[in-house]
Amino acid sequence: MRIAESVEVSAPPEAVWEYIAEPENYLRFMSGVTRWEVQGDKRSGLGARCRMLLRVGAAEVGGLIEWVEWSEPRDMAWTSVTGVDQRGRWRIRPLERERSRVELRYAYGVAGAGIFGWIAEKVAAPTLRRHIRRTLHQLKRQIEHERLRAEAERRKKAREGATTA
Amino acid sequence: METSTLAEQAKQNGHGEGPAPAAEESAGAGLGSMLGRAAGAIGRQIGSRLTADLDDRDPDYIRENLPFVWLLSSLWFRGEVRNLGNIPEDGPVLMVGNHSGGNVTPDTHVLTLAFSTYFGVERPFYQLAHNLVVASPIGQILRKYGTVPASHENAELALNRGAAVLVYPGGDWEVHRSSWARNTVDFGGRKGFLRLALKNDVPIVPVVSAGGQETALFLGRGNRLAKGLGLDRLLRLKVLPVSIGPPWGLNVGDFLGHLPLPAKLTTEVLPPIDLREQFGAEPDLDEAYDYVTRLMQDALDALAAERRFPVIG
């Protein structure tokens, strides 16, 4: 089963990319995620691995994932190595006036689980959809607030520089 | 396996140290003798089916059945397992739980699901279960999940392989306590789990669950009846419980299980305990027992305090 949601962010694709490429940020904006830990020496980029867990119903599901696509600053995708089968993809596309459309696609299931697997996917879908929507809104807020802070800092420094001169 | 061996195995497992039930009245001795002989035959049959093979655990089977167990745990029991991060990330560990829910034991299903999704089905995880459970038709399925007959030998085999082992020291004694005592940790004085942890030098991780004893109305253990019928000697059964619940109504023995009521199950994993670090090189078992059970009782009290209504949670 695949879920896809998107949001517009008032930041260029490069800023969005920079934020989602940092593994430490995931616990800040990924809704429902209880664990997002780098495994191995490689922190990010193609081939980097993370252990992630997402609370859905009575369990925290997830497992080891690996980044399998890393096309800066457009597409970033992961797939599961262990745990439930899952694929996730960030699609970042530029819009006018330094804005971006950010889409998160999430596909999940358990191969070989039969009818119960199908039912479980349907039952879990509303929860996962809520998580994904919330994730995107939290991502938007984090990035835009960070840009506002950076902008305010830049203006403050400019003012201080003008006063000194 | 002969029944005498079963009794010996039970003793080694600490089951011989349970509270001594009061003397059984002699009424119905003839019937008792007959039932005792029948129980003996069943006991021999069970013994022949008890071969622990850790390789029976099948990670692919567990994985493929996660959705079913997830549906059951999420929709029926509204299961919640907290602080799984307290379980060491790797290496052998002895998880010690309080046991509830009669012979259906829904808390085990919820915990097994949570463990399997949290650590992955690849991490070896074994559950010690009563001989009757492992020898039953459903035992064939449970073995694939890593359920093995409760004995020190099986537990040690698993621990030596670096596995996580789940043990319910209270076993049949605790699981059939009355619903009025649902928020009581009652291991019946069984300390075998402490000896097991010490001998294998593994940490104990207490696991406390609330709600399981609300899945039926459990009226009592029937321990006097069980002793009178000789079930304790022949089947390691110290109880012949009486409960009320679907689909049977009045249920004596709970041998065929029952349809559990959809009680909310909440489980909390407590921080690991290193017995030697806590109590010295040669820990006093009584002291360690009191400590572990008190910790668990305190946690169960806290979980019980969160519940506003039985079953609803």
Write out the DSSP string of A47-65: T-EEEEEEEETTEEEEEEE
Residue closest to B78 by CA, chosen among B242, B229, B253, B263: B263
Is A122 within a domain? yes
Contact B110 A58 (CB under 8 A): yes
| Model pLDDT, residue B2 | 38
Give the separation between CA B193 and CA B298, rounded to whole angstroms: 20
Q: How many domains does chain A have?
A: 1
Name residues 19-78 of chain A within 8 A of B (Cβ): 53, 56-64
| Residue range B63-76, pLDDT digits in tens | 999 999 999 999 99
* CB contact B79 to A (< 8 Å): yes
B304 vs B9, B180, B311, CA distance in Å? 34, 12, 12
Give the separation between CA B286 and CA A111, rounded to whole angstroms: 49
Looking at domain B54-216+262-306, its CATH class is alpha beta
Say which amino acid occupies A86. Answer: Q
Task: Collect all residues with Cβ–Cβ distance below 8 Å to B67 and sequence separation of at least 6.
Answer: A110, A113, A116, A117, A119, A120, A121
| Model pLDDT, residue B232 | 79
Give the separation between CA B12 and CA B274, rounded to whole angstroms: 22
Radius of gyration of chain B (CA): 18
* CB contact B90 to A (< 8 Å): no
- What's the pTM value of the predicted model, to 2 decimals? 0.85
Low-confidence ranges of chain A (pLDDT < 50): none
Tell me which residue range forms the domain holding A45: 2-140
Question: Can you read off the two tokens belonging to residue B129?
Answer: 């279960």
Is A40 within a domain? yes
* CB contact B187 to A (< 8 Å): no
Give the separation between CA B286 and CA B289, rounded to whole angstroms: 5
Residue B64 with chain A: CB contacts under 8 Å: 110-114, 117
| Residue range B146-167, pLDDT digits in tens | 999 999 999 999 999 999 999 9
Is A43 within a domain? yes
By the 10 Å C-beta count (0-12 exposed, 13-18 middle, 19+ buried), B105 is classed as buried
The answer to whether the beta carbons of residues B218 and B173 sit under 8 Å apart is no
Contact A60 B74 (CB under 8 A): no
Give the separation between CA A15 and CA A11, rounded to whole angstroms: 6
Element at B248 (helix H, strand E): none
Is A71 within a domain? yes
| Model pLDDT, residue B229 | 87
Give the separation between CA A2 and CA B260, rounded to whole angstroms: 34
Is A165 within a domain? no
Of the candidates A58, A62, A120, the beta carbon closest to that of B114 is on: A58
Interface confidence (ipTM) of the complex: 0.89
Contact A59 B118 (CB under 8 A): yes
| Torsion region of B79: left, alpha or beta (phi above 0 gives left; psi -120 to 50 gives alpha) | beta
* CB contact B80 to A (< 8 Å): yes
Tell me B15's DSSP state: G
Tell me B273's DSSP state: B
Is A66 within a domain? yes
Q: Which CATH number do you get for residue A39?
A: 3.30.530.20
Mean pLDDT, 10 residues at a time, chain B of 313 residues: 42 43 43 61 61 86 96 96 95 97 92 96 94 85 94 94 97 92 95 97 98 94 88 80 93 90 97 96 96 98 94 90
Backbone angles phi, psi at B25, to 5 degrees: -70, 155
Domain boundaries, chain B: 54-216+262-306
